[in-house]
Structure 1
Amino acid sequence: MHVVIAPDSFTGTLTATQAAEAIAAGWHDTAPHDALTLLPLSDGGPGFLDVLGRSLDGDTVALTVSDPVGRQVPAAILIVDDEGERTAYIESAHAAGLHLLGPDERNPANTSTWGVGQLLKAALLEQPTRMVVGLGGSATNDAGAGLLAALGAGPADALARGGQALAAAPDDALSGLLGVREQLAGVDLVLATDVDNPLLGFKGASAVFGPQKGATPEQTQELEGALGRFTEIVARTLPAPLDLLTGAPRRLEREPGAGAAGGLGYALLLLGGRRVSGVELVLDAVGFREIVRSSDLVVTGEGTFDWQSLQGKVAVGVAEAAMECGLPSVVLAGQVLVGRRETMGLGISGAYAVADTPAEVDAALLDPVGTLRARAARVARTWSPAG
C-alpha cells in the first residue's frame, strides 16, 4: 500500500517535517511493507517557507528583522523565478510568530508587526512581480500597523508600539500610506491565510484570536476599540475601493481574511493585496494532487483538530483534495475536539487523538515524537491490510 503522510506542524511541539517523520516511523513499525511518501504542509503559518522550499526551485535570502517585542531574529525570503514571473515568498511568523516569545512575554496589546514590514521591504529590493505572504501563528494584534510603519506609511511611535497604542494614534498617522501603495502598484500582493475572519466584531481578530495570544478579557475589549480607531484613521486617509459589480464602497475591515494574523490581513488588503487559501496555495505548489493520485491513503495531522480546523486549515484542505482524487484520508492530532459527524461530512474517514486525558496530554508534551509515533503505529494496524 502507498501512503502519503502530509501533516501540518503540531504547534509548539513539532514542525511539519518532524511530525511527518514521526508518523512515518510509527507506520513503518507496524507496516514496513507499505511505501511511504512524506509531504509536510503548511497553511501559511509557521513552516510556510520550509515546506515551499522543499518543492520549489528558488533562492533563499537570509536577513535579520525585529521580532514582536523588538529583538533581532533571523528570517528569510524565498525567491522563485518561473517563466518570467519572479515571486517572493514571505512567512510572517518569522518576524511576528508566537513561538518567538516566552510564555510571560505574550501580550498582544504591546506586540508589533514592524518586522514583517522589514521582510516586505527587503523583498521589494528583489524586484518581484508577485509577493506571497503567509499569515498565521502570530503573536500580534495591531492590524498590521507596525508593518505599514516599517514601509513608511506613518511614524513608528504612533503605529509600531502594539495594538493598544493605536487608540491614541493621531488622525494623520497614515499620511504616507498612499505613497506605500504606489511602491507596490506593480506587484501582485497575495495573502495566503488559513482563516477568513474579519478585522472587527465577534468573529474578528481581537475577539477570536486575542485570548490565544495572551490577552485578558479587558485587553480584548481594549484592542477591539483600538483597532476600530485605526480603521477610522484609514478612512480619513484612503478612499474606500469600489466593488466592481455593484459600485458600492468596500469596507476592507469586513473582508474575509482581514483579521488574519491579528489584522495583518487588513494591512495587506489596504496595500492592494488579495486573499487566497493558504493550504490550497501550498497544495498546488507541492503538486499534492499529482502525488496522491498514485497512492492508496492520505494521513494528515496537526496539534489540535478542533472547530478552527474546519475553517480552512491543512487537515481539512488535505481531506477535500484527497476526496477529489477518490482517496480516503485520516487525521492524527494531539487532540481531537471535533465529532465524527463533522469529520465524516468533510470526507475524513477517521480522526485519531494522541492524547485524550490530561495525563496523556502531559505525556505527549514531554515526548511529542514518541507519543505521535506510537499512535501512528496503532492507526496503521487498522488501515494497512497486512497489519
Structure 2
Amino acid sequence: MRVLLAPDTFGTTLAATQVAAAMAEGWAEGAPHDEVRQLPLSDGGPGFLDVIERAVGGTTVATTVSDPLGREVPAAVLLHDEGERRTAWVEAAQATGLHLLAADERDPRVTSTWGVGQLLATALAEGATRIVVGVGGGATNDAGAGMLAALGAGPATALARGGLALGDVPEDALADLAEVLDRFAGVELVLATDDTTPLLGLAGTSAVESPRKGAAPEHAQALEGALGRFTDLLVRALPRPPIDLLTGAPRRLDREPGAGAAGGLGLALLALGARCTGAVAEALHVTGFEVAAAGSDLVVTATDRLDWTSLRGSVVSGVAEAGTAAARPVVCVAGEVLVGRRETMTTGLAGCYAVADHPSEVEGMLADPVGTLRTRTARVARTWSPGR
C-alpha cells in the first residue's frame, strides 16, 4: 500500500518535519511492506519556512530580527526564483512567535511586530517581486503597528510599544506611510492565513485571541479600544483609500478577510496592498499535495490537538477536504482527540486515533512525544494496512 503522511506540527513540541519522520518510523514498524512518503504541511505558523523549503528548495537568507519584546533572535527569509519572478517566503512567527516567550513574559499589551517589518525589509532588499507572509502562531496584538514602524511609516516610540500604547498614539504617527507604500509598489504581497477572526468586536482578535497570548479580560477590553483608535488612524493615513471594484465605494479594511489575523497584523499587511489567501491551501499547492494524494492509497495527517478549532481552517481539515476530492481515505493521528466521531466525519476523516486516549496519558505523551507518536502510528498502520 502507498501511504502519504501529511501532518501539521505538534504544537511547539515537534515541527511538522519531525512529526512526519516519527510517523514514518512508526508506519515502517507496523507495516514494513508499505511504501511511505512524507509531506509535512503548515498553516502559516512556526515551521512554515521549513515546509516550503522542503517543497521548492530555494535560497535561505539568514538575518537577525527583534522578538516580541525587542530581543535579537535569528530568523530567515526563503527566496525562490521562477523565471523573472523572485518570491520571498516570510514566517512571521520567527519574529512574533508565542514560543519565543516564557510563560511569564506573555503579554499582548506590550509585544510588538517590529521584527516582521525587518523580515519584509530583508525580502525587499533581496529583490523580491512577490512576498508571501505566513502569520500564524504569534504573541502580538498591535495591528501590525510595530511592523509599519520598522518599515519607516512612523516612529518606534509611538508604534512599537505594543497594542495597548496605540490607545494614545499621536495623530501624525503614520506620517510616512505613503513612502512605505511606494517601497511595495510593483511587489505582489500575499497574506497567508486561515484565521477568520474579525479585527474588532465581541468576536474580534482582542476579545478572542489575546487571552491565549496572556491577556486578562480587562486587558482584552483595553486592547480592543486601542486597536479601534489605531484602525481609524491607519485608514485616514492611507493616501489612496482602497476601492471596492464592484460598488466603487471605499473598502473597510478592518472588515476584510484576514484583517484580524495574528492580532491584527493582517490589517497592516492589507493596508500595504496584500491580498489574502489560505495558508493551508498555499502549502497544499506548493507541496504538490494533489498529485501526491492521487498517487497514494491512504493519506494520514496529524496534529497535537484535534478539537473544534481543527474542523475548519487547519491542516487537518485542509488535508481531509483535499484527500476527499482526490477520492482517497484520510485518517488523523492526534495527540488528543476532543471531538466526536460525527464531527470528524463531517470534515471527511475516515478515522481518528489519539496518542493519549485518556487524560492520564497526556503527561507521558509530552515527556516522549516522538516515541509515543511512533508507537501509536505503528498501531494505526497495522489497522489500515492490508498486509503483503
Is residue 191 of structure 2 the alignment partner of residue 188 of structure 1?
no
Q: Percent identity?
A: 63
Residue 296 of structure 1 corresponds to which residue in structure 2? 297
1:33 Cα shift? 0.9
1:334 and 1:364 in contact (8 A); partners too: yes
Paired amino acid for 2:305: T
Query: Aligned pairs, how many?
Result: 387
Residue 341 of structure 1 corresponds to which residue in structure 2? 342
1:356 Cα shift? 3.7
| Alpha-carbon distance in structure 2 between the residues aligned to 1:307 and 1:14 | 21
- Give RMSD over aligned pairs: 1.2
Normalised by the length of structure 1, the TM-score is 0.97
Any idea what SS the aligned residue of 1:43 has?
A: coil
Any idea what SS the aligned residue of 1:132 has?
A: strand
Report which stretch shifted further, 189-198 or 270-279: 189-198
Paired amino acid for 2:269: L
| Alpha-carbon distance in structure 2 between the residues aligned to 1:203 and 1:256 | 14
Residue 171 of structure 2 corresponds to which residue in structure 1? 171
- When residues 148 and 308 of structure 1 are mapped into structure 2, their CA distance, relative to the original with a 3 A threshold, is same
Report which stretch shifted further, 170-179 or 320-329: 170-179
| Alpha-carbon distance in structure 1 between the residues aligned to 2:171 and 2:302 | 46
Is residue 60 of structure 2 the alignment partner of residue 50 of structure 1?
no
Runs of 5+ in structure 2 lacking a partner?
none
Is residue 272 of structure 2 the alignment partner of residue 243 of structure 1?
no
Any idea what SS the aligned residue of 1:45 has?
A: coil
Residue 119 of structure 1 corresponds to which residue in structure 2? 119
| Alpha-carbon distance in structure 2 between the residues aligned to 1:88 and 1:55 | 14
1:337 Cα shift? 2.0
Paired amino acid for 1:245: L
Residue 254 of structure 2 corresponds to which residue in structure 1? 253
Residue 366 of structure 1 corresponds to which residue in structure 2? 367
Residue 130 of structure 1 corresponds to which residue in structure 2? 130
1:216 Cα shift? 1.0
Any idea what SS the aligned residue of 2:259 has?
A: coil
Is residue 281 of structure 2 the alignment partner of residue 287 of structure 1?
no
Paired amino acid for 1:166: L
1:247 Cα shift? 1.5
| Alpha-carbon distance in structure 2 between the residues aligned to 1:351 and 1:203 | 30
| Alpha-carbon distance in structure 2 between the residues aligned to 1:11 and 1:317 | 17
Residue 199 of structure 1 corresponds to which residue in structure 2? 199
Report which stretch shifted further, 269-278 or 349-358: 349-358
1:158-184, CA deviations, whole angstroms, 9 ceiling, x for partnerless residues? 110111111111111111112111110
Residue 357 of structure 1 corresponds to which residue in structure 2? 358
1:193 Cα shift? 0.8
1:191 and 1:268 in contact (8 A); partners too: yes
Stretches (4+) displaced over 4 A: none
1:229 Cα shift? 1.1
1:8-47, CA deviations, whole angstroms, 9 ceiling, x for partnerless residues? 1111210001111111112222111111101111111111
Paired amino acid for 1:63: T
Report which stretch shifted further, 275-284 or 377-386: 377-386
| Alpha-carbon distance in structure 2 between the residues aligned to 1:55 and 1:108 | 33
Residue 263 of structure 1 corresponds to which residue in structure 2? 264
Residue 307 of structure 1 corresponds to which residue in structure 2? 308
1:292 Cα shift? 1.4
1:196 and 1:311 in contact (8 A); partners too: no
Any idea what SS the aligned residue of 1:87 has?
A: strand
| Alpha-carbon distance in structure 2 between the residues aligned to 1:359 and 1:158 | 48
Normalised by the length of structure 2, the TM-score is 0.97
Report which stretch shifted further, 163-172 or 235-244: 235-244
Residue 318 of structure 1 corresponds to which residue in structure 2? 319
Any idea what SS the aligned residue of 2:292 has?
A: helix
1:82 Cα shift? 0.4
| Alpha-carbon distance in structure 2 between the residues aligned to 1:350 and 1:170 | 54
1:328 and 1:349 in contact (8 A); partners too: yes
Paired amino acid for 1:349: A
| Alpha-carbon distance in structure 2 between the residues aligned to 1:201 and 1:357 | 37
Paired amino acid for 2:309: Q
1:271 Cα shift? 0.4
Is residue 155 of structure 2 the alignment partner of residue 155 of structure 1?
yes
- When residues 356 and 206 of structure 1 are mapped into structure 2, their CA distance, relative to the original with a 3 A threshold, is farther
Any idea what SS the aligned residue of 1:175 has?
A: coil
Residue 106 of structure 1 corresponds to which residue in structure 2? 106
| Alpha-carbon distance in structure 2 between the residues aligned to 1:338 and 1:256 | 27
Any idea what SS the aligned residue of 1:302 has?
A: strand
Residue 377 of structure 1 corresponds to which residue in structure 2? 378
